[in-house]
Amino acid sequence: MTGRLITLEGGEGAGKSTAMAFLAGRIAARGVELLQVREPGGTEAGEAIRRVVLNPGHAGLCAETELLLMFAARAQLVREVIGPALARGAVVLSDRFTDASFAYQGGGRGIDAGRIAELERWACGIRPDLTLLLDLPVDQGLARARGRGPTDRIEAERTEFFERVRAAYRQRTAQEPARWRVIDASRPLDEVLVALGTALDAHFEARP
Binding site for ligand Z5A (CB under 6 A): 10, 12-18, 39-40, 70, 95-96, 100-101, 104-105, 144-145, 148, 154-155, 185, 188-189, 192
Question: Cβ of residue 94: shortest distance to ligand Z5A, in angstroms?
Answer: 9
Q: Which is nearer to ligand Z5A, 15 or 128 (CB)?
A: 15
Sign of CA dihedral 40, 60, 107, 143: positive
Question: Cβ of residue 170: shortest distance to ligand Z5A, in angstroms?
Answer: 16
Q: Which is nearer to ligand Z5A, 34 or 134 (CB)?
A: 134
At position 201, the amino acid (one-letter code) is D
20's CB contacts (< 8 A; 6+ apart) are 8, 36, 93, 95
Q: Which is nearer to ligand Z5A, 3 or 7 (CB)?
A: 7
The CA distance from 134 to 15, in Å, is: 8
Q: Which residue is nearest to ligand Z5A (CB)?
A: 15
Question: Cβ of residue 1: shortest distance to ligand Z5A, in angstroms?
Answer: 21
Q: Which is nearer to ligand Z5A, 90 or 192 (CB)?
A: 192
**Across-strand partners of 133?**
9, 182
**Across-strand partners of 10?**
134
**Across-strand partners of 5?**
92
Q: Which is nearer to ligand Z5A, 188 or 208 (CB)?
A: 188
124, 74 contact by CB (below 8 A): yes
Question: Cβ of residue 52: shortest distance to ligand Z5A, in angstroms?
Answer: 12
Question: Cβ of residue 15: shortest distance to ligand Z5A, in angstroms?
Answer: 3
For 69, how many CA atoms within 13 A lie in the half-sphere containing its CB? Answer: 22
